[in-house]
Chain A
Amino acid sequence: GAVVSQHPSWVICKSGTSVKIECRSLDFQATTMFWYRQFPKQSLMLMATSNEGSKATYEQGVEKDKFLINHASLTLSTLTVTSAHPEDSSFYICSARDLAGELNEQFFGPGTRLTVL
């Protein structure tokens, strides 16, 4: 199957700093990428849908000024958590849809575990 990478795998930062997470589709082009957040023992929560060359679409309750998304190319989307606080500590997962695929399947990156001290 298609491969999606995420970097970094984990990050620890101080409260008030900003953290950038990269999501790359390695062997396919993805016009649409998705950013999820998952708290312990809870399901995936869609934060935003990232479309190449246009503004991201944020889900209700997600602050677009706090979670900056840039989808500058067909293989790269970035999520920047600005002025991070301890409540932002979570598992952030991106996924990408392979439009050339038959199943509309979303391929997930390995996730980034963010801990804000």
Chain B
Amino acid sequence: GQNIDQPTEMTATEGAIVQINCTYQTSGFNGLFWYQQHAGEAPTFLSYNVLDGLEEKGRFSSFLSRSKGYSYLLLKELQMKDSASYLCAVMDSNYQLIWGAGTKLIIKP
């Protein structure tokens, strides 16, 4: 079956760095997405990785290793507004998104 695993909840301090991991097993692979979702709102796109390596975009970076079925989202210089759920999703061979359950990130002052 298809499976996406990520931690349920993480806590970090304002100004610090946090890494959210995601492992996956899917039928085919056409890219991995990270989305941010604030409570009561729809997800918003953060990043997309289809090749191995690190993609950097401002304070956020995303890494992919296809051979290991592994990705992480790195958030630097954490701000209170970064408190949200972070969803990892893999696009399978049918171009369908398979979603992880999300990681709730709590930022403390």
Contacts and interface: CB of A to CB of B under 8 A. Distances in A.
A61 interface: no
B44 interface: yes
A104 B102 CA distance: 21
Interface in B52-100: 87, 91, 95-97, 99-100
A107 interface: yes
Given A42-B101, A43-B87, A43-B101, A49 B96 contact: yes
B24 interface: no
B41 A110 contact: yes
Interface of B: 30-31, 33, 40-45, 48, 87, 91, 95-97, 99-102
Interface string A1-18: 100000000000000000
Contact count band on A: 20 to 34
A43 B100 contact: yes
A108 B42 CA distance: 6
A111 B33 contact: no
A27 interface: no
Chain A CB within 10 A, most for which of B44, B45, B91: B45
Nearest to A111: B42
Contact of B45 (A44, A107, A113): A107
A104 B41 contact: no
23 contacts: A1-B45, A34-B97, A42-B101, A43-B100, A44-B43, A44-B87, A44-B99, A93-B42, A93-B43, A97-B95, A103-B31, A103-B48, A104-B31, A104-B91, A105-B45, A105-B48, A107-B45, A108-B42, A108-B43, A110-B42, A111-B40, A111-B42, A113-B40
A116 to B, nearest CB: 18
A104 B30 contact: yes
B41 A111 contact: yes
A109 B42 CA distance: 7
Contacts of B97: 34, 46, 106
B74 to A, nearest CB: 20
A106 B99 CA distance: 12
